[in-house]
A and B are shown apart, each in its own frame.
Chain A
Amino acid sequence: MSHSAKASALFGVMGEYSCEHDVVHAAKKMYELGYRKMDGYTPFPVHGLDTAIGRGRTKLPMLVLAGGIAGACGGLGMMLFSSTIHYPINVAGRPYFSWPMFVPIMFECTILLASLTAVFGMLGLNNLPEPYHPTFNVPAFLRASSNTFFLCVESTDANFDVEKLKADFAATHAEGVYEVPT
């Protein structure tokens, strides 16, 4: 098998660590070595690992803000439309658009839309649900949800070279290095 054929059959090369500090340091080192397409796999969110692999901030908060504004405007708009345009009822001469009475529902609509955006935005940006992913092909990956920390450099990386990667991972004291088949 030629080198390029092998590379294309791989999703990436993965190193295994038993401590969150080790995986953060390994990620920093791999980044220094010029690897960019990488991802960590950890049983809980590891502080600093996202910046170590060179990920910027997520745009989720902006989406949630937009969702909240849409909820507020939608809720208020619905009540404005129905009570002044579509079905105005004169109750004891009170104004049709008595906005202080509309605040509670507007507030609830804001929270509802913002929360739905937060959850479905997170799932959508993360591309979940995702029934198949190559990382699950590594048997040791079962421990990723328990007490083991993984760092995977993906084959789409410009510097991807299986043998060099294995050596680089070994230099970061990975306790196991695995090829990840697609």
Chain B
Amino acid sequence: MSVAAEKPAKKTGLHEGEVWDDYLGAPHTYASVGDKISNVVLTTKVPKLWPVMIAVGLLGTMSLMYAVSVLLAKGVGVWGNNVPVGWAFDIINFVWWIGIGHAGTLISAVLLLVKQQWRTSINRFAEAMTLFAVACAGMYPALHVGRPWLAYWLLPYPNTMGLWPQWRSPLMWDVFAVSTYATVSLLFWYVGLIPDLATLRDKAINKPARFIYGFLSLGWRGSTVHWSRYTVAYLLLAGLSTPLVVSVHTIVSFDFSVGITPGWHATIFPPYFVAGAVFAGFAMVLTLGIPLRHVYGLKDLITGRHLDVMAKVMLTTGLVVGYGYLTEIFLAWYSGDHFEWYMMKNRFFGPYAFVFWLLMLCNIAAIQPLWFKPVRQNIIALFVISMFVNFGMWFERFMIIVMSLHRDFLPSSWGMYTPTHVDIAMFAGTIGFFLLLFFLFVRALPMISIMEMREYVSIKRGDKAASADWKPYKPAVDGEPQPVVVPGGAIAGQHREPGVPQ
């Protein structure tokens, strides 16, 4: 199925005020984008996929609850990690989920700063994805401390023992980085939502919905004075999130690179981890975005052009990650370090070699078709490739963590790691929990930023208005207002009833 077939070739017959370009699959006005996006939420009809995904999500959440209950009842011994592999599924999944979250922030913050307007169609659900991914990620280290009800000991609070956390520990840095990241992502997402919540408040027909959206929109009325502070605040948040997102995965990589374990002690880790995070995150945005646009009929807002651009970002970051693998191999050889080079050979041919080769298949070989435009325009191919990347990035973390730990300096301390059923139930559980949160979000909140789509239409209209002979307002005749031709082809002042939103 190709996205090229989704759009008629000629963009003719546009009314005044309608905008249609590569990033809009159909002619759109301010009202039409708002209606299109808010109708997904305000309708009583849901596509068939929705209850299915909620059911899958609930099933997964139950699996998560089972795994956590067993863990709390019996202790971390129910997990497969033990000496020598002291870190396994918990940290693999933590790093994987955090990485997935990063594309959301990247799309919303970095692309905003560099004025990439195409982000407007995908930033909202990507930010939601970030939040839910961080929620899943945060569970793992909290549960891995063994007594999660004492996890607050990690925070600097005035305790009766007069103790302070160890500031020099990268794991402590993790606590600050991830909790700051979760907080800032939530704020960024909510601030972006406020004007859209006001739109939903004004469009909602039933009273409870109007009350809830009204409550959440904080009385937003689109005042110009408010907007001028709002845009400054949003831009500043984007500016703050950009170094934050880089710092978070850099700090996650420090968890490993400050250790002397072969395969961990590498200066390439921070950029390599950040690129891997963006790679995994864009794969997840595509994985979620492709079915969403199809099921909710949003192909004219999340267009083939968007998928094309995201595929290019995925290819680029994938190549950076590939460069990271090469650097690791080269430095293991070039360092002349016996243990480093053994670790590398163990990756290629050791007992977990299948993970390494699967990783090469998923992260390097599978993305190469993205060089070609027909592949980037083929939805099924894109979806399959993004699934490969999702798996591949998980294998990468498995490789880094388990394969380095299971054979280190002393052969007498070598060992193998196999996940237990609790490990697997918990991993599957977080995936289910993520899907549950995500599909609840899709039902309750606009998954595309209405306000920013309108701004996009306005910018594109402005370009047109500047080129055409645009008259802002006609001079008054006899003090009587004259009808003004307004966008949409209608004459203003007609077809209007006060109090009825258009």
Most A Cβ at <10 Å: residue of B203, B219, B243: B219
A82 an interface residue at 8 Å Cβ cutoff?
yes
Q: Contacting B476 at CB < 8 Å: which of A25, A50, A173?
A: A173
Q: Are B167 and A83 neighbours in the complex by a CB distance under 8 Å?
A: yes
Most B Cβ at <10 Å: residue of A45, A129, A139: A45
Q: Are B501 and A44 neighbours in the complex by a CB distance under 8 Å?
A: no
Query: From residue B167, how far is it (CB to closest CB) to chain A in Å?
Result: 5
Most A Cβ at <10 Å: residue of B472, B493, B498: B472
Within 8 A of B (CB), among A13-40: 18-22, 24-26, 39-40
In the complex, residue of chain B having the shortest beta-carbon distance to the beta carbon of A143: B501
Decide: A18 near B486, CB < 8 A? Known: A39-B223, A87-B163: yes
Within 8 A of B (CB), among A119-163: 119, 121-123, 125-126, 128-133, 135-136, 139-148
Task: Kindly list chain A residues whose C-beta atoms are within 8 Å of the C-beta of B481.
Answer: 170, 173-175
* Contact residues on B (Cβ < 8 Å of other chain), bracket: 35 or more
Report how many A-B pairs have Cβ atoms within 8 Å: 234
In the complex, residue of chain B having the shortest beta-carbon distance to the beta carbon of A78: B156
Q: Contacting A129 at CB < 8 Å: which of B164, B218, B244?
A: B218
Task: Kindly list chain A residues whose C-beta atoms are within 8 Å of the C-beta of B233.
Answer: 60, 64, 118-119, 121-122
Q: Mark B211-234, 1 if CB is under 8 A from A, else 0.
A: 000000011111111111111110
Main secondary structure of the interface of B (DSSP, over half): helix
The 19 sampled A-B contact pairs (Cβ below 8 Å) are A19-B486, A21-B465, A22-B484, A41-B224, A42-B224, A44-B455, A49-B224, A49-B227, A50-B227, A104-B247, A108-B247, A111-B243, A116-B183, A143-B501, A144-B221, A144-B222, A145-B220, A147-B30, A171-B476
Q: A60-B236, A87-B164, A176-B493 are in contact. List 20 more A-B contacts (CB 8 A).
A: A41-B222, A43-B34, A44-B195, A46-B458, A53-B224, A55-B224, A55-B228, A58-B229, A86-B164, A101-B167, A105-B172, A115-B184, A115-B237, A118-B233, A118-B237, A121-B233, A122-B232, A142-B501, A145-B195, A146-B199
A-to-B contact residues, CB < 8 Å: 18-22, 24-26, 39-46, 49-50, 53, 55, 58, 60-61, 64, 78-79, 82-83, 86-87, 91, 98, 101-102, 104-105, 107-109, 111-112, 114-116, 118-119, 121-123, 125-126, 128-133, 135-136, 139-148, 167, 170-176
